[in-house]
Amino acid sequence: MWHNQQESSVDNGALDANCDAENSAPSTTQRTAPELCPVRATAHVMVRRALHANPTLRTLSRAGSTVIVIRAPDERWAQAVVDAWSAEWRSVACEASIDEPDAAMPADALMIRGTTTLPGGRDREDLVRRIASALAEGRQVHALACAPDRELLPELLQLANATAAIEWPDGADLAEALGLHYGRAPSWTPTNANSVNILPADLLLTHRPDRDPDAHLRRAMVFVSRRHQAAVGQLRLEDLHGMQAVVEWGLRLRTDLALYRSGRLPWRDVDKGALIVGPPGTGKTTFGRALAASCSVPLIQGSVAKWQASGTGHLGDMLKAMRRTFDEARAAAPCILFVDEIDSLGDRSRFDSRNRDYSTQVLNSMLELLDGLEARDGVVFVGATNRPEALDPALIRAGRLDRMIRIDLPSAEELQKIFRHHLGQELPDADLQMIVRSRVGMTGADVERAVRGMRQRARHEARAPCMNDLLSELSDAKVILSEDMRWRIAVHEAGHAVAILHLRPEALRSVSVGRTAGDTGVLGVVATAPDLCGSGPGTPITRHAILNAIAERLAGRAAEWQLQGEVSAGAGGSPSSDIAMATWLATVAVSAFGLDGSGSHAPVWRGLPDVDDVPRLLLQHPGIARQVEAMLHEGYERALCLMRDEASSVEQVAKRLMVADCLTADEVRETVSAARQA
């Protein structure tokens, strides 16, 4: 590049429904016949459907010393289901008595409600004794939870004679329930797609004194539809472009979270979190928001800077702020807990002596919150960073942030999709391909800013946006490059592309050069697959692989030397420059991987340095500096040899770049193949 499972137990009938207040409220019209409120009525229909769908439950309804596990569809339905269960279960027992007229009706069951954290200590022992006592007396034990595997005592699950799965109410259930409530059924039945995931609050908030089941059902469906439309209106995973790997992970997580919420997948089988890695502006925070929206769970956000700004910023306030964020996430579970710039926590091996105690306690507290004694069931932790090498190894070990997913700069095709997403219905006939071919290297944030500026230009002139607004915004405050400068950049990037095509044939994605000098200073980009040192999955990182990676990094400089007779500063400068990254690779090979070229003596591990730490490490250890310099020399010699052998190929790729601005991997292959045959 140029640069919560505590359980409570209650007796049947002792739990009041959320809508009791509505039924007991004073009314000017007294009703002589008892009636069920719409929530109670719906719960009765849901329970009745589950009981009649499972013949085993009918048989067990008259049995003593029986354990029945009841799975509710959602915590918000749990209370109403508990209330309906007792009456409907007794009704099933009465029906079963027809077959066994001499059998006595079983005594009232002991009802157990699962919540969010397993009990411990005396509470757990008391609960076990109560269950044991009920079973010894011949009573039944009914245990209700939304996720039995994580909310109920393991002993109860092992003792269970049967499970009753209470499903979400469908359209027919709602029509039947309102018929029970009003004494007459509505004249129509909503589709299941319209009634999906209706909540008790939806039925209560749309209840009116008009006594019209049709109108009530219509209001409820509109209410649910609007809520779903609001959720759909948010940015979702399917709307994200240029981050395929992280989107695929998010879609798998969405499926697993849905199974977990319904109790069909234990938390141990769900990914606990991930580390999202990518340059600034590539959409890491946007991904966090889209992930939460797609999974239909709350998004809890935190950052080291936010925690440090809490209170006085002293250690105690910092740790309290961290814990509050995790407590908030546990209370909202299932949810996504997103922590940006997590590399600010640092690495214990590189803490400065002046603040080592403070930083160590902060990092240790984070490790404890991630997987300490306090469980975080239902909390998916997503960390974001631009500098994964700055993280403490303990953060990314198994069970914590053990899944690292990269977001790279978008390719030309991906950039085109990002432009179209932000433009929406505006500029429908715009030639976006023409726009992006000269602007590969932009991030999603750059595109969003350009489109926002386009709209601002048009708004201030009281007209609709046009193509010139977008082009002006993209070119504003940028320097138009001379042809000589573009040629040098094209040669530089062509050198990278040809080297990658030679050393890692399947890794090349695209190569591009710009026509303007933008804010980022990136004038050319080669997009590749994110393989470390050119090694794919299961391939060892060897000295040879690292030397090839160094050659890739320095091939642009070598191409300039070969085709133009002198080099420029384009390969150096910032910590992300070609020279800096090549030096970092060589330093890591010597200081952390033990790949100094000799296998005959025992290596010394001196840590895995951040790129910013490399100059100090080399200054402090002249021996390492000499070994690093030797590796860089060897890697650069490879690059020079390759550029001499492929000079014609590099020149032809550069010429095509001058015309097309951006070439795909296939176009580079075609050009190289033709040059070799000429």
Determine what percent of the chain is predicted with pLDDT higher than 70: 84
In this structure, are strands 335-340 and 299-303 parallel, antiparallel, or unpaired?
parallel
Alpha carbon distance 591, 579 (integer Å): 18
Mean pLDDT of 585-611: 82
Q: Read off the pLDDT of residues 40-76 as tens digits, 9 standing for 90 and up.
A: 999 999 999 999 888 888 888 888 899 999 988 888 8
Residue 478 is predicted with a pLDDT of 53
pLDDT category of residue 230 using cuts at 50, 70 and 90:
low
Residue 98 is predicted with a pLDDT of 59
493 has a pLDDT exceeding 70:
yes
Alpha carbon distance 371, 399 (integer Å): 8
Q: Read off the pLDDT of residues 364-379 as tens digits, 9 standing for 90 and up.
A: 888 888 876 556 788 8
659 has a pLDDT exceeding 50:
yes
638 or 237, which is more confident?
638
19 has a pLDDT exceeding 60:
no
Could you tell me where the beta strands, DSSP code E, fall in 268-419? 273-277, 299-303, 335-340, 379-385, 404-406
Q: Which fold has domain 412-476?
A: Helicase, Ruva Protein; domain 3 (1.10.8)
pLDDT category of residue 25 using cuts at 50, 70 and 90:
very low
Residue 39 is predicted with a pLDDT of 94
653 has a pLDDT exceeding 60:
yes
Residue 538 is predicted with a pLDDT of 53
Residue 101 is predicted with a pLDDT of 54
**Which residue among 88, 493, 552, 651 is the active-site one?**
493
Residue pair 617/609 in contact (Cβ under 8 Å)? The answer is: yes
CA 664 to chain centroid, in Å, comes to 29
CA nearest 242: which of 398, 2, 393, 412? Answer: 412
Q: Sign of the CA dihedral 152, 154, 160, 162?
A: positive
Residue 528 is predicted with a pLDDT of 81
Structure tokens at 477: 């405050």
Residue 119: cis peptide before it, omega within 30 degrees of 0? no
CATH entry 3.40.50 includes domain 8-165: yes
Residue pair 383/273 in contact (Cβ under 8 Å)? The answer is: yes
Residue pair 195/64 in contact (Cβ under 8 Å)? The answer is: no
Alpha carbon distance 42, 173 (integer Å): 7
pLDDT category of residue 27 using cuts at 50, 70 and 90:
very low
Q: Read off the pLDDT of residues 419-441 as tens digits, 9 standing for 90 and up.
A: 888 888 888 888 887 777 667 67
| Sequential DSSP letters for 223-250 | HHHHHHHHHHTS--GGG--S-HHHHHHH
With a CB cutoff of 8 Å and minimum separation 6, the contacts of 275 are 342, 382, 383, 384, 385, 388, 391, 395, 396, 401, 403, 404, 405
Amino acid present at 280: P
pLDDT category of residue 14 using cuts at 50, 70 and 90:
very low
pLDDT category of residue 22 using cuts at 50, 70 and 90:
very low
CA 448 to chain centroid, in Å, comes to 21
Q: Looking at residue 107, what DSSP letter applies?
A: P
Compute the C-alpha angle 38/42/45, nearest 5°: 145
Task: Assign domain 237-406 to a CATH class.
Answer: alpha beta
Mean pLDDT of 264-271: 86
Residue 147 is predicted with a pLDDT of 76
615 has a pLDDT exceeding 80:
yes
Structure tokens at 300: 């809890």
436 or 453, which is more confident?
453
Which residues in the chain are classed under CATH 1.10.8.60? 412-476
Residue 609 is predicted with a pLDDT of 82
Q: Average per-residue pLDDT in the chain?
A: 81
CA nearest 143: which of 541, 254, 151, 350? Answer: 151
Structure tokens at 384: 């974001």
Residue pair 407/276 in contact (Cβ under 8 Å)? The answer is: yes
609 or 638, which is more confident?
638
Residue 370 is predicted with a pLDDT of 83
Residue 185 is predicted with a pLDDT of 92
Alpha carbon distance 546, 552 (integer Å): 10
Q: Read off the pLDDT of residues 88-145 as tens digits, 9 standing for 90 and up.
A: 998 888 876 655 555 555 568 899 887 544 444 557 788 888 999 999 999 999 999 8
Which residues in the chain are classed under CATH 1.20.58.760? 483-677
Residue pair 649/498 in contact (Cβ under 8 Å)? The answer is: yes
Residue pair 113/144 in contact (Cβ under 8 Å)? The answer is: yes
Integer angstrom CA distances of residue 666 from 44, 427, 451, 506, 663: 63, 30, 31, 10, 8
Residue 115 is predicted with a pLDDT of 56
24 or 455, which is more confident?
455
Q: In terms of residues, how long is the chain?
A: 678
Q: What angle, rounded to 10 degrees, do the helices at 171-182 and 38-53 form?
A: 130
Residue 521 is predicted with a pLDDT of 53
Alpha carbon distance 236, 227 (integer Å): 15
Q: Read off the pLDDT of residues 292-329 as tens digits, 9 standing for 90 and up.
A: 888 888 888 888 888 887 766 678 888 888 888 888 88
Integer angstrom CA distances of residue 193 from 170, 189, 224, 490: 9, 12, 11, 54
Q: Which of 242-246, 305-309, 463-467, 558-562 has the highest mean pLDDT?
A: 558-562
Alpha carbon distance 126, 301 (integer Å): 38
Kind and range of the H or E run holding 148? helix 148-151
pLDDT category of residue 28 using cuts at 50, 70 and 90:
very low
Structure tokens at 314: 């002293």
- Note if 95 is an active site residue: no
CATH superfamily of 483-677: Peptidase M41 (1.20.58.760)
In this structure, are strands 162-165 and 299-303 parallel, antiparallel, or unpaired?
unpaired
Kind and range of the H or E run holding 323? helix 315-332
35-44, 76-85, 200-209: the lowest-pLDDT one: 35-44
